[in-house]
Amino acid sequence: MKILIIGGGNMGMTYAHAFLRSHITKKNDLMILERSEEKWPELEKLDVGTVCKKPEDCLSRADLVILAVKPQDAASLFEKIRPMVDPQQVFLSIMAGVKMKSIAEGLGISKVIRAMPNLPAQIGMGMTAFTSTDEVTRIELVMVQNLINTTGKSIYVDNEALIDAATAISGSGPAYVWLFMQALIKAGRELGFSEAEAELLVSQTFQGAIDLFHQSDFSCEEWIKKVASKGGTTEAALDSFAQTSLFQDIISGAEAAYLRAKELGG
């Protein structure tokens, strides 16, 4: 199977490295199409496949085309490559907000898979939600899911609206986690720890809490109750969070991300 990745940015290269690392494809079967001349030497040094400079050089040879460009660039890309696409090609899009209908109409195709990965995919710990048009066969869908799973875990959803929802939760989610960590690290510094000490305290606490959650059947609420004894230090912190509406603010932030994902899709 020949794979063409359009876009040599972070996520495009994350997929390229993951595919090769898992031996699910070979360099000879992997092509990268990048429009920026400045990036060509860098991509060639990475040696993850053939670097293509024009769609004419590679598009017709691809069985699977991965659209890894900014959603704002979708319309111009579609206009440029539409005359060269084959209706039998499968297109996998990771463009936030761009709907399958827009992709199908923009390219004159019917086999579209839309996915929302996140940044931890770079280390094989990503989370991806994906869906597809009815024209994608079961074999093609399994093939693409196997590719996606080289970057972490995935879930298939029937309702495309849930892709925008996943954008708000798992797609943008790592930034929410890092923001909370940043705040705790700053609190640690203000309480007297060095930067390195505060970072270790916070990172290990997050890692331990997540591992403990995975290794039990307790909900987050149940774990909170186990830590927050009556009149104790954790309860004092949680009471402060409640007074500033932190819990609802997090939900509101995710909802704002969801609305923006819908806006990006037009």
Q: What is the dihedral of CA 201, 207, 212, 213, to 10 degrees?
A: 120
- In this prediction, residue 36 carries a pLDDT of 85
- In this prediction, residue 265 carries a pLDDT of 67
**Every domain of the chain and the residues it spans:** 3-158, 173-264
- In this prediction, residue 71 carries a pLDDT of 87
Q: Which one of 3.30.470.20, 3.40.50.2000, 1.10.3730.10, 3.40.50.2300 gives the CATH number of domain 173-264?
A: 1.10.3730.10
- The band of 78, judged by pLDDT with boundaries at 50, 70 and 90, is very high
Counting residues of the chain whose pLDDT is more than 90, the rounded percentage is: 89
Average pLDDT, the chain: 94
Q: Which one of 3.60.10.10, 3.10.580.10, 3.40.190.180, 3.40.50.720 gives the CATH number of domain 3-158?
A: 3.40.50.720
- In this prediction, residue 266 carries a pLDDT of 67
DSSP annotation string for the chain:
--EEEE--SHHHHHHHHHHHHTTSS-GGGEEEE---GGGHHHHHHHTSSEEESSGGGTGGG-SEEEE-S-GGGHHHHHHHHGGG--TTSEEEE--TT--HHHHHHHHT---EEEEE--GGGGGT-EEEEEEE-TTS-HHHHHHHHHHHGGGEEEEE-S-THHHHHHIIIIISHHHHHHHHHHHHHHHHHHTT--HHHHHHHHHHHHHHHHHHHHTSS--HHHHHHHH--TTSHHHHHHHHHHHTTHHHHHHHHHHHHHHHHHHHT-
The mean per-residue pLDDT over the stretch 215-221 comes to: 96
Chain segment 161-189, per-residue pLDDT in tens:
999 999 999 999 999 999 999 999 999 99
- The band of 96, judged by pLDDT with boundaries at 50, 70 and 90, is confident
- In this prediction, residue 264 carries a pLDDT of 75
pLDDT above 90 (res 243): yes
- The band of 263, judged by pLDDT with boundaries at 50, 70 and 90, is confident
Chain segment 110-160, per-residue pLDDT in tens:
999 999 999 999 999 999 999 999 999 999 999 999 999 999 999 999 999
